[in-house]
A and B are shown apart, each in its own frame.
Chain A
Amino acid sequence: MTVSNVVAEPVLQVRNLVKHFPIRSTGLLRRNVGEIHAVCDVSFDVYASETLGIVGESGCGKSTTGRAILNLQPATSGQVLFGGKDVTQLTGHDLRVVRRDMQLVFQDPYASLNPRMTVNDIVAEPLVIHKLGDTKKSRRDTVQDLMKTVGLNPEHGNRYPHEFSGGQRQRIGIARALALEPKVLVLDEPVSALDVSIQAGVVNLLEALQDRLGLSYVFIAHDLSVVRHIADRVAVMYLGRIVELAPRDALFERPAHPYTRALLSAIPIPDPRKERERRRIVLQGDVPSPASPPSGCRFRTRCQVFRDQLDDGQREACIEKIPALEDRGQGHPVACHYPDVEKVV
């Protein structure tokens, strides 16, 4: 799981992905009165056997990005290229064929499993939908193998979801996603609903599965500690845009965007001595509304560099020009006019 495969052809290419949600007026006409800019001009590649982490706070567009990749939310514009096809343009049968190779694991293992289906039926459902496995018997065998793969007892297949703990349910969700032998898994906060002692088991399972099956993961999370553990490359999102995209160690050791630095410094480390020595960058205020994002750089309203280090002339660039996501001498792309590398962890 090293980043040695950069030269290879990417499995999944996302190009200039945009997703706007309409804001409708209340009342009979439900006119369009504005747009939520949920995802703006997001581009990235995912390579074979690689984990791309997408991190950011609530409302930054990370989940919408994940859903747009699978065309569960039709993109407003942009392309998602997978196996030579643009997923955003596909419908019906063609879309279903592509989705066989791209599966989603949801955050809430309580809401994403049908309480009235047995675990066997839940895990077999994708096989039925895609008409795989000739007989009920062969499907049952596949399900048993999948249960073993994710560390569940196959004898428990006749039980219902409520008979399992949170960690076990998340394993059922993963087994279901693996049923079609996909190439790419989009994992939307797969461990954030779980207790810490249970989390580790699911994270280890995901890593083992990747090694064994050569899966690519798009790992969406707000917990950067988990992402540091599992991801090969990390994209940091803020208000719909990727602000920094870097290999894991570069991002955590040499964060260049002021938002990445603030985010990293805000995460507590379970180590009292280190915590006492750390300097915290506390951001002022709240995330602006995505219905009317700030002009230029979207982070400038809360940016500590903009506030403390820039003069009015320098600030003009932040207010007027949208910073492109490009390498500015940091070794990885960053969307900031005045990037600066600083160690915060």
Chain B
Amino acid sequence: MTAAFELAPQAAQPLLEVTGLSVSFPTDDGLVEAVRGVTYSVSPGEVLGIVGESGSGKSVTSLAIMGLLPPTAQVTGSVKLHGQELVGASYQTMAGLRGRQISMVFQDPISSLNPVYSIGWQLAEAVRAHHDVSKKEALSRSVDLLQLVGIPNAKERAANYPHEFSGGMRQRVVIAMAIANDPDVLIADEPTTALDVTVQAQILETLDIARDATNAAMILITHDLGVVAGVADRVLVMYAGKPVETGIVDDIYYRSQMPYTIGLLNSIPRLDSKGGDELRPIPGSPPSLLNLAPGCPFSPRCDFRIPVCDQEEPALLDVEGIDHQAACHVSAQFAPSATTSEAVQA
């Protein structure tokens, strides 16, 4: 985990530093280790894409950063924002930071908004939570925000209620709310998963505008490798609660060094590939995070398995490329030319 500090060479002092973050939930059946040692950092203006399937711990990681997990969750490790430790911080400290320095956009916009207050009122409330301004000023700021995220007739629409907005419009409102106090870090957790593709394109554009306006670092959590390819600067691939590969976006897609990442890229049908060639699914399914067996959690599904994989969990180590790390015992054998996403194009 010492490699954390080498992740962001462009900035001396990263904005957000997550080191060895682990989250487990006690259940009747035992301890569920949802996140097992996540380490990454982000710098201002940077977009980090976190990719993984359901249950890989990508959402729990961000909830732990925001301090939004239930009290039963056991969180260890360190999360530093501007050098300030967030793990174990008091409710008051977190309340002062949430929205002001770090804010979050959730997947489902309808449950992120209060149905009985107007959009303008809710935005104004977000502004007034951190700024000592009059209601009138806060309202005019919320109209500006609605305009920024591309809501037509912002002034009239501010008086509307969430049910009068479409899904895409609601997500724009949630983004406006997240940037209302000019945060330094914006976490977007599957922001477009519930939306249609043409609306997804609109929302990704809106997120870009929001990021330009605030110069915030963005953490984009998604299972869609296409979205990450277009938006992210760096990518973190998660599997069974752990990062298994991290690097700049081109290294991950063209010079992947971890069988899980390679398998994911091979298993998705692509819009730009002629049909006919068979998809290569990853056999089996992700392991249960309850009483995880020793060894690499991916080894039961891995084509490149060697005996050591079942005994020892590989650490995230430097591999070829710029700040490119992979957690795999056999990663040395994946020469850049062996990576398949380029072969698919050929």
B201 to chain A, nearest CB (A): 4
- Choose one: B54, B227, B250, B279; the contact of A268 (CB below 8 Å): B227
* Contact residues in B for A229 (Cβ distance below 8 Å): 269, 273, 275, 279
Contact status A195-B279, CB under 8 Å = no
B62 at the interface (CB under 8 A from A): no
Residue in chain B with minimal CB distance to A264:
B271
Q: How far is the CB of B203 from chain A (nearest CB, A)?
A: 10
Which of B53, B199, B200, B273 is within 8 Å of A196, CB to CB? B53
By beta carbon, the residue of chain A nearest B253 is: A272
A268 touches B224 (CB 8 A): yes
Interface string of A164-197 (1 = CB under 8 A from B): 0101000000000000000000000000000111
**Pairwise interchain contact A269-B271, C-beta atoms closer than 8 A:** yes
Q: Is the CB of A197 within 8 A of B253?
A: no
Interface residues of B in 24-69 (CB under 8 A from A): 53-54
9-residue interface stretch from A6-14, A138-146, A220-228:
A220-228
Tell which of A165, A269, A280 touches B285, judged by Cβ atoms closer than 8 Å: A165
Give every chain B residue within 8 A of A207 (Cβ-Cβ). Answer: 278
Interface assignment of A263: CB less than 8 Å from any CB of chain B: yes
- CB <8 Å contact, B267 and A286: no
| Interface range, A side | 35 or more
Among the stretches A198-206, A310-318, A333-341, the one at the interface with B is A198-206
Q: Does A266 contact B (CB under 8 A)?
A: yes
* Chain B 98-133: CB-based contact to A (< 8 A → 1; otherwise 0): 000000000000000000000000000000000000
Interface hits, A139-166 → B, CB 8 Å: 165
Whether B269 lies near A226 (C-beta < 8 A) is yes
CA gap between A303 and B81 in the complex, in Å: 45
Main secondary structure of the interface of A (DSSP, over half): helix
- Which residues of A are found within 8 Å of B76, using beta-carbon distances? none
| A273 within 8 A of partner (CB) | yes
Report the Cα distance A262→B198, complex, angstroms: 7
Closest residue of chain A to B169, judged by CB?
A286
Q: What are the residues of chain B within 8 A of A231 when measuring CB–CB?
A: 275
- Determine which of A165, A203, A266, A269 lies in contact with B270 in the assembled complex, contact meaning CB atoms within 8 Å: A269
Instruction: Tell me whether A275 is interfacial, beta carbon within 8 Å.
Output: yes
Asked if residues A197 and B269 are in contact (CB atoms below 8 Å), the reply is no
Does A319 touch B at the CB level, under 8 Å?
no
- Whether A263 pairs with B197 at a CB distance below 8 angstroms is yes
- A286: nearest chain-B partner, CB-CB: B166
In the bound complex, how far is the Cα of B271 from the Cα of A345, in angstroms? 7
Structural contact, A275 and B269, CB atoms closer than 8 A: no
B271 touches A252 (CB 8 A): yes
Chain B residues with CB under 8 Å of A249's CB are 274
Given known A-B contacts A167-B285, A267-B197, A197 and B249 have beta carbons under 8 A apart: no
The A256-291 residues at the B interface (CB cut-off 8 A) are 262-276, 278, 280, 282-283, 285-286
B269-296 vs A, CB cutoff 8 Å, 1 = contact: the mask equals 1111111101111110100000000000
Partner of B264, one of A196, A248, A275: A196
B225 within 8 A of A: yes
Contacts of A265 in B (CB 8 A): 201
Type the 1/0 row for A14-33, where 1 means its CB is closer than 8 Å to any CB of B: 00000000000000000000
- A266/B198 contact (C-beta < 8 A), A207-B278, A224-B271, A225-B269 known: yes
A203 to B196, CA, bound (A): 21
Contact of B197 among A195, A266, A276 (CB under 8 A): A266
Q: Is the CB of A268 within 8 A of B281?
A: no
**Given A58-B196, A167-B285, A225-B268: A203 touches B279 (CB 8 Å cut-off):** yes
Contact among B202, B280, B341 for A270, CB-based, below 8 A: B341
Closest chain-A Cβ to B152's Cβ sits at a distance in Å of 8
Do the beta carbons of A270 and B196 come within 8 Å of each other? no
CB neighbours of B281 from chain A (8 A): 197-201, 204
A228 to B272, CA, bound (A): 9
A38 part of interface (Cβ distance < 8 Å): no
Q: For chain B residues 3-29, which have a beta carbon within 8 Å of chain A?
A: none
Q: Chain B's nearest CB lies how many Å from the CB of A260?
A: 11
Residues of B within 8 Å of A272, CB to CB, are 229-230, 249-250, 253-254
Q: How far apart sit A165 and B225, CA to CA, in the bound complex (Å)?
A: 22
With A270-B225, A286-B168 already in contact, the answer to whether A275 and B230 are too (CB < 8 A) is yes
C-alpha gap A271/B282 in the complex (Å): 20
Q: Does A230 contact B (CB under 8 A)?
A: yes
**Beyond A195-B223, A222-B196, is A275–B229 a contact (Cβ under 8 Å)?**
yes
Residue of A nearest to B230 (CB): A275
Complex Cα distance, B268 from A201, in Å, reads: 10
Interface check A57, CB cutoff 8 A = yes
What 4 A-B pairs come out closest when comparing CB atoms? A268-B226, A200-B281, A275-B230, A201-B281
Interface residues of B (CB under 8 A from A): 53-54, 152, 166, 168-169, 196-202, 205, 223-230, 249-250, 253-254, 263-265, 267-276, 278-283, 285, 341, 345
